[in-house]
Amino acid sequence: MTDTEVKEPKIEFPCADYPIKIIGDTGVGFRATVVEIVEKHATVNHDKNAERQSTNGNYTTLQLHILATGQEQLYNINSELRATGIVKMVL
């Protein structure tokens, strides 16, 4: 494959159990803000949510499982989360 060839996405959409990991500043409202933004764009399976803090408690990681419908949806979620200023990374 050459550098100019387009690679196929590794995800088949729709994906009913797509995990998103959001890392951000620990603080009041982090979880609520993240969940509110993600729910605007996707259906969230709240039974699989996981949350943990870093060793020093400065950062919180929130893992959500969503119904992913396409690349544009994932891009919009990522963009809106990053725009909050409290989200450091979206995986």
Tokens for 84, please give them.
């909050």
Cα–Cα distance measured from residue 41 to residue 54, given in angstroms and rounded to the nearest whole number: 27
Please say if the pLDDT value at position 10 is more than 90: no
4 pLDDT more than 70 = no
DSSP for 35-67, written as a single string = HHHHHHHS-B-GGG-EEEE-TTSSEEEEEEEEE
pLDDT at 84 over 60: yes
* pLDDT digit string, tens, across residues 13-43: 999 999 999 999 998 899 999 999 999 999 9
Q: Set out the domains of the chain in order of their start, with CATH numbers.
A: 15-90 (3.30.70.260)
Please answer whether residues 22 and 62 qualify as being in contact, where contact means their C-beta atoms are separated by less than 8 angstroms. Answer: yes
Burial 1-10 (b: 16+ CB within 10 A, else e): eeeeeeeeee
